Amino acid sequence: MSRRTAALAIAACLVAGAVLRALPCANEFWLDEIWTWRDAMRLHSPLEVFTGIHHSNNHHLNTLFVYALGDRAAWAVYRLPSLAAGIATIALGAALAARRGRLEAVLAAGLLAASFPLVHFSSEARGYALAVALALAALLALLRWLERGRAADAVLFGASTSLGLLAQLVSVFAWAGALALTLRWAARAPAPRGRAARRALALHAAPAATLLALWWVDLRHLRVGGGPEAHAAEVVARSVGFALGLPVRAALAPLYAALAAGIVALGVARQWRERDGLWLYLLVAIALAPAAILAIARPGLVDLRYFLIGIALALVLLAWLLAPALRAGGWRRAAAALAIAGFLAGNAHSAARFLALGRGGFGAALRYMAERSEGGRIVVGSDHDFRNGMTLRFYARALPPGRQLDYRAHGAWPPEGPEWYLVHRAERPLDPPAEIALPGAGRYALAAEFDHAAISGFYCAVYRRVGSGAGEGSAIPVRRRRIAMPKPSSPNGSGPIVATRS
């Protein structure tokens, strides 16, 4: 492949990846983004981003940007840093892969551009896309420093790693890989070893100081937000399935775990055989550091987004494996081409669903209720006062004149119950109940449903009190059955939503 052809192909991947990431930036804000916006709007100074929130939902660089912008009606603008980082990730990944060849660079650009997890988080006002881009920038700077020893590369590595830690703490996985690679370099450096050790310490001084300062002002006070409980099989199925464009099925988790381990093992073994020290960085950053840190920390919630840096690195590694197969011809070329086609098709399917459904439809649900409510007030209750109440209040700011949200927390319902009742779930149930019975409030009929596309967001079902136009405009015909709903969760609860058949 000529230099010109490779450059044009990478440019095409950048354009396609940018469009694919920009389109979903216009879809609805979801809970975690709204949570960040609400916390940022309550701050009085930028310093309070570090000293005044103390919550795991606070991704410091992202919250600083939201605070700096202030209250904006067009929420897509809050997603611009993630969009820019997502596009930069494609270019940085291509630059990293180009160390082994032009075909590798083109393949890496294509895989990264099409990757649904990277597309998803590049259109979300959170810190994950920033963390991925900064991890790749830090790795490139580290490799150049190891080869040339220039101070400019050391400064770039320190700045990128430090900013990555401020973007999202999952950046510690990439930093662990960098530490391992630096230690390997220092151990192999010619005498005197003391000089190499001092240079290695200086290289990592800024990230260490950043993490220490962050721990002192924020992390030691940290509270962790809740979420739907996920099991190991689900996490593996989601992470590997979405990353490679495969069906997301928990039953396939053992096969997917073996497939992911095989890709990483083959790539690392190839690097090791070719005496490329990058094998150690990749092994630590993709596998060993996440496994060790999560085993020690034991967070209550583990999800695909924690492994996003590893996914990006694994796709570069996959490009390094596919390129020689394409060059070899014969059955190896056919197998590689088939794998690439399957990857693109699977990710395109997920991206198409994401463009259609986004992260949920709470804003659309509120508009639906506003158009059909009796009088100007929209009296709403739900199965989770914290999540649903905060999300609905965010969208209530855009209600037309004469319409006002009156969200009632459990315990403050009117005697006859709220006119509307929202049920939310992590995934759309296969057979949503057509009618539910709420203790002390009577019967409610399904009026409409609003789904979401996979990684972030919630499905919500809108129920209306029977006797106030219930069932009018039902979105999906369902078999009628009555269900007794459990008591709604506490305002800050995070348990799963369970319906008990009567």
Query: What confidence tens digit (pLDDT) does each residue in 141-159 have?
Result: 999 999 998 999 999 999 9
Contact 165, 206 (CB under 8 A): no
Cis omega (within 30 of 0) for bond into 24: no
Per-residue pLDDT tens for 10-50?
999 999 999 999 999 999 999 999 999 999 999 999 999 99
Give CA 152 to chain center in angstroms.
32
pLDDT recorded at residue 295 = 83
Rounded-to-integer distance, Cα 15 and Cα 402, Å: 44
Task: State mean pLDDT over 301-321.
Answer: 93
Task: State mean pLDDT over 175-180.
Answer: 96
Rounded-to-integer distance, Cα 465 and Cα 416, Å: 9
Query: Average pLDDT of the chain?
Result: 89
Question: Residue 484 pLDDT > 70, yes or no?
Answer: no
Q: Which of 253, 263, 285, 313 is nearest to 111 (CA)?
A: 313
Tell me the one-letter amino acid at 83: L
pLDDT band at 297 (very low <50, low <70, confident <90, very high): confident
Contact 484, 472 (CB under 8 A): no
Which token pair is 293? Answer: 């840190």
Give the residues across from 462 on adjacent strands.
Answer: 422, 448
Rounded-to-integer distance, Cα 136 and Cα 278, Å: 13
Per-residue pLDDT tens for 420-453?
999 999 888 988 999 999 988 889 999 999 999 8
pLDDT recorded at residue 229 = 67
Domain ranges of the chain: 3-212+234-357, 362-501
Provide the angle, in degrees to the nearest 10, between the axes of the packed helices 171-188 and 128-148.
10
pLDDT recorded at residue 230 = 66
Q: In the sheet where 377-382 sits, what is the strand order?
A: 404-407, 377-382, 420-425, 459-465, 442-450, 435-438, 482-484, 500-501
Rounded-to-integer distance, Cα 191 and Cα 189, Å: 7
pLDDT band at 502 (very low <50, low <70, confident <90, very high): very low
- pTM for this model (two decimals): 0.90
Per-residue pLDDT tens for 46-81?
999 999 999 989 999 999 999 999 999 888 999 999
Question: Residue 488 pLDDT > 70, yes or no?
Answer: no
Give CA 392 to chain center in angstroms.
22
| 3-state DSSP assignment of residue 276 | coil
Question: Residue 497 pLDDT > 70, yes or no?
Answer: no
pLDDT recorded at residue 440 = 82
pLDDT recorded at residue 36 = 95
pLDDT band at 472 (very low <50, low <70, confident <90, very high): very low
pLDDT recorded at residue 236 = 92
Per-residue pLDDT tens for 317-372?
999 999 999 999 899 999 999 999 999 999 999 999 999 999 999 999 999 999 99
Cα dihedral value 379, 385, 390, 391, nearest 10: -70
Rounded-to-integer distance, Cα 353 and Cα 470, Å: 30
Question: Residue 253 pLDDT > 90, yes or no?
Answer: yes
Q: Burial code of 356-374, b = ≥16 C-beta within 10 A, e = fewer?
A: ebbbbbbbbbbbbbbebbe
Question: Residue 105 pLDDT > 90, yes or no?
Answer: yes
